Structure 1
Amino acid sequence: MPRWVACQGPDPVAQLAAMGAHSIVSDAADGSPITSLAAGTGGSGVRAGGPVDNVALGLLAGTGPAVGPFRVGSLTAVGEVTLFNAAELRRLTGAPADATHAELLLHAYARGEVAAADGMFVLAVSDGGSLVLVRDHVGARTLFHATAGAHWAAATSLRALRDWPALDTGLHLPAVTSFLTFAYLPGTDTFLRGVHEALPGRVTTRHGTRTFWEPREETDERSPEAHADALRALLEDATARRLPDAEPAAVLLSGGVDSSLVTALAAKLHDHPVHTYSISFGADLPNELGYSGLVAAHCRTEHTVLSVSGQTVADRLEGTVALLDSPVGDPLTVPNLLLAEAVAATGASAVLNGEGGDPVFGGPKNLPMLIFELHRDDPDPDARARTYLESYRKCHGDLPMLLTRATQEALAGAPPLTDHVAPYLRPGPMRGLLNQLLHTNLRTKGAHHILTKVERLTAATGIEGRAPLFDRAVIDHAFRVPPRYKLNGTAEKWILKEAVRDLLPATIVDRPKSGMRVPVQQWLHGPLRDLGHDLLLGPTARARGLFRPDTIETWLRREGTLLPRQGGKLWLLLTLELWLRSYGL
């Protein structure tokens, strides 16, 4: 996968060359270019009189969306940029008609109009001797940064920073407990000590960040019909702008309302055939194929069902986990990659998905939190945040019996896990509890789990994963809709369903969300059994000393709890172990 790297400090060209970068361009503090060279040609970015604190930008090996370095006026940049409103941005900025998407975004940056861009992007800009990082509104693409001595470096590849000789890094222990609590890493943490993730909707420099977009609660008391009509128009626009040009559209179709509405909109709006893709784990297991098949027939798509066996998951798990900058405790990771490969094999350039409906419009896990609030008797302001952590039902409550004593002692001074979510669950941009919960989901799970997983796995196959429900204008509208229209009694995502009711069979619109039923327990006691035992109880894991072997042995025997939930916990541990090994940690 192609990625870019950037560095600010003395002799930054040498730093990038050490990370394996090529096509390096270095700018002086006044914005003038010093040198342009390929790594290993001997250029140093040094002017007469000694090293200059300047900026260098370069690409890592590979082909794909990373472009640069390129210049607009006095600015130099590298980036991974896909815009969905290029024509609008071209009119706003006055950019030339032949400007690429990356150049358009740099024009917008120069005019202070980054917020007007709609798309998937990360950009590094050399601006007057400073390195400036820009990440898109919702986090569809990801980047990382770290400081080593006088140097500040950034990369869209976590491995590039891990391999940076100047950086003294290693396992960031608090990330372990975060992952076991959330099944992903929220916020700026990574598993590498001293390496941080840039937040979405932010412009980041060595000295801090500024926000260019954050959703806000601006309740509009129009009728539900008016809100549904406005939302429908925005959904059509978001989907239309993400459809590929002059080729069939591909959509991942689970059979739930979110992926179904994207399928229906694509079928209505696209002037080429629509291909849909679903997963089967075997006819003898509960599945949603009846629903996805119904939608495919209703929308007249060319439908493909991909059968995924437990043995295939076992064979592909290690390689799939290694593609991610952070492990994701989602057992659909391998099936997601297989779907992306199936789409890519057709020659498609992009695939649409229904991700975003739950975090933006009020899906599962909000009702338990609202019930807690109704019966709350704990005055502690962080009680809500603790309940939110527990609602994930991962390993949070098991940490005392899972972590070794040495690990717990090493974590004694770590910030509380509630710090990741507590700021979103207090009055601020969002006043009401439901919107606070949705804001939390958007800025944590959306940016650091859903979108980053989709981006890394689709990029690995050479295509783009596009999510119309994560569209900026759709999100802004969602936070204008009164909460009672999003969660209408016990009807979740009510306004979203009303906006597309005419497009889909009532069976699809009104069915309760069940989620993809993944046979994790079956896999762990079948094709993944030996791998799980060997990895989790083997010498490498024991030498790392993070977890108590007796607890893991109990879970592997399916003991220790009244309900058989060990499968999900073991999946987290197995995914983490494979990821740590792939990064040499």
Structure 2
Amino acid sequence: MCGVAGIRRFDGRPVDEEDLRAMMRVLAHRGPDDQGLAVRGPVGFGHVRLSIIDLAGSPQPMATPGGRHLLSFNGEIFNYRDLRRRSEHDFRTDGDTEVVLATVARRGPRGAGEFVGQFAFAHHDFGTDRTWLVRDRAGVLPLYYYVDGERLVFASEIKALLEVLGDKVRLDRDQVRSYLRARAVHAPATLFAGIAKVPPGHVVEVSGRGEVVVAPYWQLPSPEDVLDCTPAEAVDLVEEGLRSAVDASLVADVPVGAYLSGGVDSSLVVALAEAARRRAGSNEPIATFSAEFGDPRFDETEYSTLVSQMFGTDHHRVLIQPEDFRGSWEHLTWHRDAPVSEPADIAVAQLATAARQQVKVVLSGEGSDELFGGYPKYRYAGATALADRLPARARTIGARALERALPAGRGKLRIAVRALTGEPRTRMEDWFAPFTDYEIDALLGTSHRPAARTVGHRDPIDLMGRLDFDTWLPDNLLERGDRMSMASSLELRPPFLDHRLVELAYRLPSAVKVRQGQTKWVLKEVARRHLPGRVVDRPKVGFRVPLDTWFRGELQELARDLLSGSGSFVESLMDPAVVTALLDDHARGRRDEEIRIWTLLSLEMWGRRFFVGQHVGV
């Protein structure tokens, strides 16, 4: 994994090399092994490198022999050897970077459709005076940009753009509502006004006059494109697709490890990775890593230990404690470029720090739930349509009353009931919402409603999966995965997001994803061929952090001081009485408000770090 940065001026003036170097310094954690820059008049590209493939070669930025094409590339192309064999290009290096350069020089940015892997890159064609920013299909790797009348500035992380843009950047207040609804801001927007994300599977083309065109080069299969297969055939297809994806994700010139929670997803990835190692004749055990929280409700040690012993991995357990949150929250907010949206983010960062001491690359199970209907909410996707038979006002009043009456321990049921208070046009997006629209109205003192997105689908489960893949996965989970791993210079690879497996998953009938009330049925049937039943059939835990008790104990004073103390960033945006009531309800045990408190605290930390200039230092 690497970091890319660049400046393209539209007025013909040369790029200031020091601006480019400043951006690269900020990205140094993404590429501690090497760095380079190339400046040709009004075009300047920079690159920092974490060496994974062709360790001694493939310096970047890389240009074609005649100098017409220039590339700065972040990622790994798993099928690069096959593309080399089929190409007539006279390669000078042994890595995947030159394969990307040659392919895009020949086919343009849509050549990205030939790549299997995860990537984000910038390419400039001096012949046409056009710059292309391209991001992989699922959005595993990030790329941000800013365009005004003078220049295009782009980088792998927003903080690098801030080195050049300075005081031009302001808070985008309209996106605060988006953050409160989703704990993330959906592409192409960010919380920084004027700074955009390249959407997954898209090309951003910028002309020499600064004209911007954003277009997809890949999309999910059409809802009408459904495989005609039996459940047994679906299991075979998914097993073969996942095996191929895991095999591809092991392409590296350095050791590859894996996260192992003991859940179905990570355990199945480890099982298939170990099988691939044996086929390759390797005797080295895979290094695996799991997090522990000292709370029996979320303790998966029994299962991660079982799987580790079963496959002979070199297993490492990492204990996460409340003081880890106090000590790293601000630092990781800087890495995240956004509010640390999930409580698990900090735990993932601690896990990455431990993993980096052993390996440079880890595999994860990210993406499985979105592809195969794994979240508990998928059981109820169809049932929500029944709520629309009630008058909207009666439904909303009844659902709010029921949600308030539920005990603190019924978190999943509360989420489902709260989703019913939303409008039909946004309900599928509201299942993960920490705040409903009416709660955000109370916080912000406005009643603005975002426009609903239109997504083609064949049934409620298919719709929920497509929405999760388009928004929740790239803008929340994958951003988390990239930033928290790269904070320790660790490359994260999610085999489930191999685009070939993604395309297969969205062509499967929904009936093999949720079958007789069981979520993720087809994947669990694959897992039964490789794992013990006690691992496959145990209840889903997820990567949970015991914040409910921590916010009534070790972190209660921190939360209250930051959200209601002098100089609070959140207080400057929201009604302080509403915030205080939320804190009181949780402290007294009336309601479990851990996710909403976390959402506000993370926004507070982010605001102080990037706009108030007040380093918290907790």
Aligned residue runs from structure 1 range 91-106, under 5 A:
91-97=85-91, 98-106=93-101
By how many angstroms is 1:204 displaced?
Answer: 0.8
By how many angstroms is 1:560 displaced?
Answer: 10
Q: Distance in 2 between matches of 1:242 and 1:174?
A: 39
Which of these residues, 106, 114, 127, is aligned with residue 111 of structure 1?
A: 106
- TM-superposition CA deviations, 1:377-429 (whole Å, max 9, x none): 3799x9433212432241224212222x4xx3xxx6x6x3353xx222xx3xx
- Find out whether 1:439 has 2:466 as its counterpart: yes
- Find out whether 1:457 has 2:484 as its counterpart: yes
Moved more, 392-401 or 537-546: 537-546
The letter for the 2-side match of 1:402 is L
Moved more, 66-75 or 321-330: 66-75
The alignment partner of 2:299 has SS state of coil
The letter for the 2-side match of 1:145 is Y
Q: Which residue is equivalent to 1:235?
A: 242
Moved more, 294-303 or 436-445: 294-303
8 Å contact 1:6–1:153 — kept in the other structure? yes
Q: Which residue is equivalent to 2:426?
A: 386
By how many angstroms is 1:332 displaced?
Answer: 0.8
Moved more, 68-77 or 94-103: 94-103
The TM-score with structure 2 as length reference comes to 0.82
- TM-superposition CA deviations, 1:442-484 (whole Å, max 9, x none): 1111111111211111112122001001111110111121111
- Find out whether 1:349 has 2:383 as its counterpart: no
Q: Which residue is equivalent to 2:74?
A: 80
Change (3 A) 1:435 1:328: farther
- Find out whether 1:371 has 2:383 as its counterpart: yes
- TM-superposition CA deviations, 1:166-195 (whole Å, max 9, x none): 872200012211111111112211111111
Which of these residues, 25, 39, 60, is aligned with residue 68 of structure 1?
A: 60
Which of these residues, 104, 123, 132, is aligned with residue 125 of structure 1?
A: 123
Aligned residue runs from structure 1 range 214-229, under 5 A:
214-216=219-221, 217=223, 218-229=225-236
Change (3 A) 1:377 1:295: same
Aligned residue runs from structure 1 range 312-331, under 5 A:
312-331=324-343
By how many angstroms is 1:516 displaced?
Answer: 3.1
Q: Which residue is equivalent to 1:7?
A: 8
By how many angstroms is 1:254 displaced?
Answer: 1.5
Query: Where do 5+ consecutive residues of structure 2 fail to align?
Result: 25-35, 53-57, 207-211, 393-421, 613-618
Q: Which residue is equivalent to 2:183?
A: 183
By how many angstroms is 1:373 displaced?
Answer: 2.0
8 Å contact 1:277–1:303 — kept in the other structure? yes
Change (3 A) 1:111 1:511: farther
Which of these residues, 218, 223, 236, is aligned with residue 213 of structure 1?
A: 218
8 Å contact 2:73–2:121 — kept in the other structure? yes
8 Å contact 1:4–1:79 — kept in the other structure? no
Q: Which residue is equivalent to 2:401?
A: none
Q: Distance in 2 between matches of 1:67 and 1:122?
A: 17
Change (3 A) 1:494 1:535: same
By how many angstroms is 1:547 displaced?
Answer: 1.6
8 Å contact 1:340–1:457 — kept in the other structure? yes
Q: Distance in 1 between matches of 2:156 and 2:386?
A: 43
Q: Distance in 2 between matches of 1:244 and 1:38?
A: 27
Change (3 A) 1:21 1:107: farther
Q: Which residue is equivalent to 1:31?
A: none
8 Å contact 1:108–1:117 — kept in the other structure? no
By how many angstroms is 1:529 displaced?
Answer: 2.6
Moved more, 465-474 or 260-269: 260-269
By how many angstroms is 1:564 displaced?
Answer: 2.1
Query: Where do 5+ consecutive residues of structure 1 fail to align?
Result: 24-36, 46-53
8 Å contact 2:335–2:484 — kept in the other structure? yes
The alignment partner of 1:545 has SS state of helix
Moved more, 559-568 or 479-488: 559-568
The letter for the 1-side match of 2:214 is T
Change (3 A) 1:246 1:145: closer
Q: Which residue is equivalent to 2:595?
A: 568
The letter for the 2-side match of 1:400 is D
The alignment partner of 2:170 has SS state of coil
8 Å contact 1:79–1:124 — kept in the other structure? yes
The alignment partner of 1:213 has SS state of coil
Q: Distance in 1 between matches of 2:17 and 2:464?
A: 41
Aligned residue runs from structure 1 range 245-324, under 5 A:
245=252, 248-270=255-277, 271=282, 272-282=284-294, 284-324=296-336
8 Å contact 1:90–1:96 — kept in the other structure? no
Aligned residue runs from structure 1 range 516-535, under 5 A:
516-535=543-562
The alignment partner of 1:491 has SS state of coil
Q: Distance in 2 between matches of 1:228 and 1:38?
A: 48
Q: Which residue is equivalent to 2:442?
A: 401
Change (3 A) 1:565 1:174: farther
The letter for the 1-side match of 2:101 is L
The alignment partner of 1:487 has SS state of coil
8 Å contact 1:133–1:205 — kept in the other structure? yes
The alignment partner of 1:14 has SS state of coil
Moved more, 281-290 or 311-320: 281-290
The TM-score with structure 1 as length reference comes to 0.86
How many correspondences in the alignment?
545
- TM-superposition CA deviations, 1:201-254 (whole Å, max 9, x none): 111113212211111142111222222212211211111121254665421111
Q: Which residue is equivalent to 2:156?
A: 156
The letter for the 2-side match of 1:202 is H
Q: Distance in 1 between matches of 2:569 and 2:336?
A: 24
Change (3 A) 1:371 1:541: same
Q: Distance in 2 between matches of 1:330 and 1:171?
A: 21
Q: Distance in 2 between matches of 1:202 and 1:457?
A: 24
The alignment partner of 2:544 has SS state of coil
Which of these residues, 448, 454, 458, is aligned with residue 423 of structure 1?
A: 454
By how many angstroms is 1:268 displaced?
Answer: 1.4
- TM-superposition CA deviations, 1:272-328 (whole Å, max 9, x none): 311221111115554222222222222222222211111122211111121112224
By how many angstroms is 1:124 displaced?
Answer: 0.8
- Find out whether 1:502 has 2:533 as its counterpart: no
Q: Distance in 2 between matches of 1:140 and 1:264?
A: 23
Report sequence identity in percent.
26
The alignment partner of 1:126 has SS state of strand
- TM-superposition CA deviations, 1:534-559 (whole Å, max 9, x none): 22123332586112222222222235
The letter for the 2-side match of 1:308 is I
Moved more, 480-489 or 278-287: 278-287
Change (3 A) 1:543 1:119: closer
By how many angstroms is 1:573 displaced?
Answer: 0.8
By how many angstroms is 1:576 displaced?
Answer: 1.1
8 Å contact 2:61–2:72 — kept in the other structure? yes
Q: Distance in 2 between matches of 1:284 and 1:227?
A: 36
Q: Distance in 2 between matches of 1:345 and 1:230?
A: 36
The alignment partner of 1:160 has SS state of helix
The alignment partner of 2:484 has SS state of helix
By how many angstroms is 1:92 displaced?
Answer: 3.6
The alignment partner of 2:316 has SS state of strand
